[in-house]
Amino acid sequence: MNTSTNSCIVPTFEDSNRYLASAVVYGLVLVVGLPLNTLSLWILLRSHGCRSPCAVLMVNLAVSDLLLALSLPLRVHYYATLHWPFGPATCTGAIMLFRINIRTSSIFITLISVDRLIALVFPLRSRSLRTSACAFKCCAVVWILIICLCIPEIMRLFNSLKQCSEIIPCFENQSRSENSKVFPISQAVFLLILLLVNIASTVVVIIVLKKRPSAGAAKVNNKMNVILIFVVNMLVFMIFFLPFTIQLLMPNENKAQVLRVLICLASVNCCLDPLIYYFSLDSFWQDKGKRQTDVGTYSLSRSMDRS
């Protein structure tokens, strides 16, 4: 490694296989995630619109994943060539798109679980709360809050990268530019709280469904789909967000390689989020004119099936 400043430690070609592996992973995520999220967003807007709170939340989740996928070509280029010709501003933007995706995705996934939980447990009393307008307001607050909280982080990262006058080590040694422990620890605690909310929602749903009598095969199949909604949400958290969260609580020394691996892993979440859309919205792949209301699933699909 060659060193100019503490935040300008640049990679050499001695570990080129590791960087090439990162380029391959990001390339695969790009090839799968970009068309999949583009298709999902198109289906959500065309077939479901924004007529229900769940659809509104999923549209915002798809937008967040799509923004991450659009930044991946820059990561592929950097790890394939170990060269960054685009300047510190572009590097800062690409890094922050990933961080914003982690934060917004975790919030939107949790909101989807909470929305589904309320729809199942309180299908009638929640009608005034579970509206598209309310979901739009919640999503707007999430985006504004996350972007505002990221502004100091953006400034620190940009100023750190500006010190690298000759070679910009974009995406590498990102943790070295973070002098304060407050923000990483706060983010880790917040993500852990969201994980607990998802776990609690899953447990409550399983208990509620067990207490409700089954009435035929259709009813049982619907119960399984409902459980899958929460299980998929919880697994996304545990597999993709939890390792990255634990890393935030670790000391900075000697964790650059671990950070690189965990960022690759967290990026894969944008390829699996469409599973959430599939299990959460009844008849996800059908045109809105062909969908029919199922009395047995009224509490979960009434908002989707009303024209």
Q: Each residue of 123-181: pLDDT tens digit?
A: 778 788 888 899 999 999 999 999 998 998 899 888 888 887 667 778 875 544 455 57
Tokens 């695969």, residue? 28
Find the distance separating the first CA and the last CA of the chain, reported in whole Å. 61
Eight-state DSSP code of residue 283: T
Distance separating alpha carbons of residues 280 and 304, to the nearest angstrom: 10
Number of C-beta neighbours around residue 63 at 10 A? 18
Give the predicted TM-score (pTM) of the model. Answer: 0.81
For residue 179, which amino acid is it? N
pLDDT value for 227:
79
Distance separating alpha carbons of residues 254 and 282, to the nearest angstrom: 47
CA neighbor of 35 nearest in space, from 60, 69, 61: 69
pLDDT value for 126:
78
Distance separating alpha carbons of residues 251 and 273, to the nearest angstrom: 30
Distance separating alpha carbons of residues 303 and 163, to the nearest angstrom: 53
- Dihedral class, residue 173 (left if φ above 0, else alpha if ψ from -120 to 50, else beta): left
Asked if 161 and 168 count as a contact pair (C-beta separation under 8 A), the reply is yes
Please provide the DSSP assignment of 99-142 as one string.
HHHHHHHHHHHHHHHHHHHHHHH-TTTTTTTS-HHHHHHHHHHH
pLDDT value for 5:
47
Distance separating alpha carbons of residues 302 and 292, to the nearest angstrom: 10
Eight-state DSSP code of residue 75: H
Q: Which two tokens stand for residue 277?
A: 């859309």
pLDDT value for 24:
92
pLDDT value for 110:
92
Distance separating alpha carbons of residues 246 and 234, to the nearest angstrom: 16
Question: Domains in the chain, ordered, with CATH?
Answer: 15-286 (1.20.1070.10)
Taking the mean position of all CA atoms in its chain, how far away is CA 109? Answer: 7
Q: Which two tokens stand for residue 123?
A: 């299908």
Distance separating alpha carbons of residues 177 and 167, to the nearest angstrom: 16
Give the 3-state secondary structure of residue 10.
strand
pLDDT in 10s for each residue of the chain, 307 residues: 344 445 566 555 556 777 888 899 999 999 998 998 898 888 888 877 778 888 899 899 999 999 999 999 999 999 888 888 888 899 999 999 988 998 999 999 999 889 888 888 887 787 888 888 999 999 999 999 999 989 988 998 888 888 876 677 788 755 444 555 777 788 888 888 999 999 998 888 888 888 765 544 334 446 677 777 788 888 888 888 888 888 777 766 556 677 778 888 888 888 888 777 766 665 444 444 444 333 334 344 444 444 3
pLDDT value for 245:
81
Q: Which two tokens stand for residue 218?
A: 């259709």
Distance separating alpha carbons of residues 273 and 164, to the nearest angstrom: 36
